[in-house]
Structure 1
Amino acid sequence: MAQTPPPIKVHKVYKVSPSQTTTTTTTLPLTFFDIRWLRLPPVERLFFYAFPNPTISFFDSLLPNLKRSLELTLQHFFPLAGNITWPQHSPIPTITYFPGHDSVSLTVSESNDDFDHVSSDFCEVSKRRRLVPGLSVSDDKTSLLALQVTLFPNSGFVIGITTHHAGVDGNCSTVFVKAWAYACSKIMKHPSLSTLPTISLPENLTPFLDRSVIKDAKGLAQSFSDAWMNFSGPNNRSVMLWKNKNNREEVQLDNNESVKGVFELKPSHIQKLKNYVKSKTGITKVSTFSVTVAYSLSCLVKAEQPEQEQVALVFPVDCRSRLEPVVSPTYFGNCLMGRLVLEETEKVMASEGFVTVLKGISEVLNGLESGVLNDVEKWQKKIESVFLEGKKRAYSIAGSTRFGVYGVDFGYGRPKKVDVASVDKTGAFALSESRDGDGGVEIALALKKEQMEVFSSLFYGQFESF
């Protein structure tokens, strides 16, 4: 009896180094924005592309272009080839890059799964896990970036990207992916560029590496570092990643009970929700972000019916444009602050749960006007307690509609699907712009099949009541 071939076959693992970069060791200290993420799980994203071409064209053309353009792009983003370490002589963790030694892992694999199903709006979580690369992790050092390219013969390919959150945030990692795509598409159009030692990037894709722009008058970097050092310490300088109590990897990812679903709010839906909120609350300024998150969370809580008495929502705020002075949009690193909304579970599950959550989000957003870093120490401790204590059902948000992920074109067309795979483990839900570019919003999350059915029914069925 013939054996069934494995669902994925690894052809080769490349070690890709930056092209013609610095010859001296580079050390970047982590800022207080970075250190908060030191041991937290990485961010994983999958970009699905149609590629109905013969396998030979993948290995003879597409793969060499991807690999060479990656070398040229890493020349600008060379810290991504380094590692996060915490030397004994350093009071805070650092990113260290050793030229000629450090590199980025690029795994090339092939899958016999159905590409159309794996890239659809509803897919088993376990099928996509095979497409996600893993970081190299130890107590002494942890890599910042891992990549995987998986071919689905005659159908498509998937680029998997895993980043260490203490190294880069979503905005920064998206700039990197866009820069890589830019370089690859340029080489496709002008093959002679692949022979050059360097490639120029447009200003909006060039990383800003100067970390002195992040001011730390309160000594938060040292304070956050001390907290990590004393966690299971003393003098615990491990940079090993760990799992929080919301992590559901062991529970769901090894079976087919968990599915990933993508839902969309069209512009007409968003406007309808905004009008309803204004009529019920008198709030005049209602953002697309607020109604999207509030509506999605109210449906999710009703679908899951958590036992905890309180629901906690943690969402990120990009501080680049909110700091004084303003930080470059392409700043390399993290520049996020978390904000917390707490509500009684019973109120969120009620008929007006959507409005309840939205009021909480609006109140928090209005508080940003007094300064995004005001009481940052208190906010951080509140958020940490939510995830560490496990007494509240915690939800969080990944991604952003501002990233423009559906515009990432490596020269083979726009992606068919973009998936933040890491939310499958953390219980978060991911936001992105709609792939058709009409101003709508995509919401993606992973649930058990029966919960997904309930969520879907609520998400699309409740509009009649607004």
Structure 2
Amino acid sequence: MEHHQKTLEIIEVCQVPPPHEKPITSLPLTFFDLLWLRFPPVNRLFFYQTSNSTFHSLVPNLKHSLSLTLQHFFHLAGNITWPLNSPNPFLNYVPGDAVSFTIAKSNSNNFNHLCSNLCEAVQTQPLIPTLNITHEKASVLSLQVTLFPSFGFCIGITTHHAALDGKSSTMFMKAWAYTCSKLIESPKSLSLPENLTPFFDRKVIEDPKGISEIYVKEQLNHGGTNNRSLKVWETKNTKEADAVKGLFELTPSHIQKLKEHAQTKLKNKVKLSTFSVTCAYVLTCLVKTEHIEANSVAFIFSVDCRARLNPPIVATYIGNCVKGQLVHFEVNGLLEDDGFIKTLEGIIEALNRIQEEEVLSGAETWMSRMKSFKDIILLSVGGSPRFEVYSVDFGWGKPKKVDITSIDKTGAFSLSESRNDNKGVEIGLTLNKPKMETFAHHFAHTLESFGRFEKVE
């Protein structure tokens, strides 16, 4: 780690405010937000390849467009706080608040390696910005631009999970990119289109069951009494020093063949989603790789509740509006020849429950159930192809690579659309080198073992 830190030169650490000060504004945290109050931040890295001719204007354009974007997202320049005189924590903006914006320069020529499908996880750590979090106050957004002269640049974004879910943070990045690209093309046209105009009104999240009150009590009683500390939980890094981040792809052809194979084996014929077959395939390969000693494992994935609430809320709502859906598996069943089918059946059943149940069914116990996860082996997934992260173009072309680095510590795998514009799915995960080689083998050959299918490259 120290070696990699030496290759990075911090040029400037500044605070970027909205272009015009806003009045003091407080946003309550809904029960969707309160679930994540002490969860570790989420990190993403966006790598862009550019020519040296763009470097003289790159940082000024990014900084100016960020300020203009914060005119619409000024709440994100604020902080989460939980004063003694407040029964609940809240997101607070006061005039003078700003977003931390770090500009760095890499003295290494490893840009192309960082953008490759296989990279040492430790090499990305210096590119990740940090949030300023104390017991009393927590910033919600931090950004870092790292320049790789002669190669390109990387934008790192770190967000507080209690302020933004994945859809929200991606929408912010798209709004910033849109503003920056328009600033380059036509400085007079800087309003955001409707699909990128944020909606912050928390009143749309109705809470007739008093779920927020239940969650607040649980947060206060966690680790003591009247615990208002905003320090996030430390993630136990289970990854070895030689951990590597691997990116894998399922093309539309592979996905279609997985669906065709599943239809010949499933007892009940259903319309299969790309999400279900992709997760089932990755989990099958991952369980074979990890040599799990426990009898059972659980898989959790997030469900966007915006369109599922009654009444539904707008897609541009900024905040958290996701629930976790849990699936339990017997490990031995996943290791058998039809492990993919058993995994898929479990995911299909969980997806069916989403359609059949009221979306907030059992919400009163969501937080207490999350605390029980430490007692089970939990596999999870982050991101979504629907976020379309490869469309985040600041005016210098689409990303060469997008990396959710926060999964490096959690053991989750990530999903996004393929960077190859082929409507495939890109999968990211972090393992030590021997396990990554084993996973790559299973990923390439499991589909082939189903018969009459080519291997996944």
**TM band (smaller chain):** over 0.9
1:164 aligns with 2:160: yes
2:262 pairs with 1:277:
yes
**Counterpart of 1:334 in 2: which secondary structure?**
coil
The DSSP-based 3-state class of the residue aligned with 2:257 is helix
The 1:25/1:451 distance shift into structure 2, 3 A limit, reads same
Is the partner of 1:372 in helix, strand or coil?
coil
Residue in 2 that maps onto 1:237: 228
**Alignment partner, residue 219 of structure 1:** 210
Structure 2: how far apart are the matches of 1:439 and 1:260? 22
After superposition, where does 1:190-229 map in structure 2 within 5 Å? 190-191=186-187, 199-229=190-220
Q: Is residue 314–residue 383 contact of structure 1 (8 Å, CA) maintained in 2?
A: no
Seen in structure 2, the aligned counterparts of structure 1 residues 412 and 431 have a Cα distance that, compared at 3 Å, is: same
d(CA) in 2 for partners of 1:205 and 1:381?
34
What's the TM-score once normalised by structure 1's chain length? Answer: 0.93
Decide which of 370, 391, 396 is 1:383's aligned counterpart.
370
Match status 1:20 vs 2:15: no
Query: Which of 412, 417, 421 is the aligned partner of 2:405?
Result: 421
Which residue of structure 1 aligns with residue 253 of structure 2? 268
CA contact (8 A) 2:101 2:144 kept: yes
Q: Deviations over 1:216-250 (max 9, x none)?
A: 11111111111011001200001101125xx326x
Once the two structures are superposed, the pairs formed by residues 313-462 of structure 1 within 5 Å of their partners are 313-369=299-355, 370-386=357-373, 388-389=374-375, 392-462=376-446
* Displacement after TM superposition at 1:182 (Å): 0.4
1:106 maps to which of 79, 87, 101: 101
Where does structure 1 lack aligned partners over 5 or more consecutive residues? 194-198
- How much does 1:381 deviate? 3.1
Aligned 8 A contact 2:4 2:123 in 1: no
Contact 1:320 1:327 in 2 (8 A): yes
SS in 2 for 1:106: strand
Secondary structure of the 1:354 match is: helix
Work out the percentage of aligned pairs sharing the same amino acid.
Answer: 52
d(CA) in 2 for partners of 1:211 and 1:435?
34
Q: In 1, Cα distance between the equivalents of 2:16 and 2:335?
A: 50
1:377 to partner: Cα distance = 2.7
Is 1:292 aligned with 2:278? yes
Aligned AA (1:132): I
2:6 corresponds to: 6
Which residue does 2:59 correspond to in 1?
A: 63
Alpha-carbon distance between aligned partners in 2 of 1:378 and 1:96, rounded to the nearest angstrom = 27
* Secondary structure of the corresponding residue to residue 402 of structure 1: helix
Equivalent residues of 1:311, 1:343 under 8 A apart = yes
The alpha carbon displacement at 1:412 in A equals 0.2
CA distance in 1, matches of 2:259, 2:4: 52
**Structure 2 CA distance for aligned equivalents of residues 283 and 163 of structure 1:** 41
Contact 1:141 1:239 in 2 (8 A): yes
Read off the aligned partner of 1:240 and give its amino acid letter: K
Q: 1:367-400 CA distances to partner (integer Å, 9 max, x unpaired)?
A: 11222111223444333312x22xx221111100
User: Aligned pair 1:29/2:16, yes or no?
Assistant: no
Which is worse superposed, 111-120 or 180-189? 111-120
Q: 1:19 to 1:6 in 2, by over 3 A?
A: same
Matched length: 445
C-alpha distance after superposition, 1:287-343 (max 9, x if no partner): 110000111011111111122221111100000011111111110100000010111
In the alignment, structure 2 segments of 5+ residues that lack a partner are 451-457
Query: Partner letter of residue 384 of structure 2?
Result: S
Residues 1:5 and 1:70: Cα distance change in structure 2 (over 3 Å): closer
Counterpart position of 1:85: 81
Aligned equivalents of 1:140, 1:309: Cα separation in 2 = 42
Deviation at 1:51, TM superposition (A): 1.4
- Please tell me whether the aligned partners of residues 106 and 146 of structure 1 are also in contact (alpha carbons under 8 angstroms): yes
Alignment-mate amino acid for residue 28 of structure 1 = L
Counterpart residue type for residue 27 of structure 1: S
Aligned pairs for 1:35-54 (under 5 A) are: 35-53=34-52
1:192 Cα shift?
5.9
Instruction: Evaluate the alpha carbon distance shift between residue 10 and residue 288 of structure 1 in structure 2; reply closer, same or farther with a 3 A threshold.
Output: same
Give 1:209 shift: 1.1
**In structure 1, what is the Cα distance between the partners aligned to 2:33 and 2:223?**
20
Q: Does 1:463 align with 2:447?
A: yes
Once residues 21 and 363 of structure 1 are traced to their aligned partners in structure 2, the CA distance between those partners, rounded to angstroms, is: 50
Residue 112 of structure 1 deviates from its aligned partner by 2.4
| 1:188 alignment counterpart | 184
Give the corresponding residue for 2:453: none
Task: Indicate if the aligned counterparts of 1:277 and 1:283 stay in contact, CA closer than 8 A.
Answer: no
CA RMSD of aligned residues (A): 1.6
1:24-64 deviation line (CA, Å, top 9, x unaligned): 2111010000000000111100000001315xx42x31100
Residue 214 of structure 2 contacts residue 364 of structure 2 at CA under 8 Å; is this kept in 1? no
- Contact preservation (8 Å) 2:381, 2:412: yes
- Aligned equivalents of 1:166 and 1:375: distance in 2? 20
Quick check: 1:48–1:416 contact (8 Å CA) kept in 2? yes
Q: CA-to-partner distance for each residue in 1:410-431, whole Å, 9 max, x for gaps?
A: 0000000001010001110100
Name the structure 2 match of 1:259: 244
